[in-house]
Amino acid sequence: MLRMLAIVAAGLALQACTIVGSDKPLFSAADTVGAPALRPGLWAMPESDCKGFDPARPASQWPECANKIIVRPGTVGGDEKQDDGSIKKRELSYVLAGGNPRILQLAAPADRKADDPAFLYVGVRPLKTDNKGRLIESQIWLVLCEEPPDEDHPFAEHKSHPLPGMKVMPDDRGCLAEAQGPVREAAKASEGWLKKAGIDDAIITVRWVRDGEK
Task: Say what the pLDDT of residue 24 is.
Answer: 96
Q: What pTM was computed for the model?
A: 0.87
* pLDDT for 17: 60
Residue 111: predicted pLDDT = 77
Q: What residue segments make up the domains of the chain, in order of their start?
A: 3-210
Sign of the Cα torsion 103, 175, 24, 108 reads positive
> What are the residue ranges in the chain where pLDDT is below 50?
1, 8-13, 15-16, 154-158
66 closest CA partner among 2, 7, 139? 7
pLDDT at 128: 98
Contact 142, 190 (CB under 8 A): yes
pLDDT of residue 200: 75
